[in-house]
Amino acid sequence: MEKKVQNADSCTVDYEDKLLRLQSYREKLDELCDFVDQELRFNRQKREEWNRRTIEWKESYKAEESNGNN
């Protein structure tokens, strides 16, 4: 009988250890997801800025070209 109780206790400890490990993995995964979200947001902002500058450059180039200021 004692052996079964001991095994049950060790199973409980193993379960708690696994649960703690899973919680730790979840926290690390959440941190990684937050980092990826920040990077994607930053890249989107840079892409939008680049597109805006490209449009401005094209418009100014067309204006200079139409004025004959190559």
**pLDDT tens digits for range 3-19:** 444 566 677 778 999 99
> How far apart, in whole angstroms, are the C-alpha atoms of residue 65 and residue 57?
12
Half-sphere exposure of 40 (CA within 13 A, CB side): 6
pLDDT per residue as tens digits for the range 10-68? 777 789 999 999 999 999 999 999 999 999 999 999 999 999 999 999 999 988 888 87
The answer to whether the beta carbons of residues 43 and 35 sit under 8 Å apart is no
The answer to whether the beta carbons of residues 16 and 8 sit under 8 Å apart is no
What's the pTM?
A: 0.60
- Number of Cβ within 10 Å of residue 34's Cβ equals 10
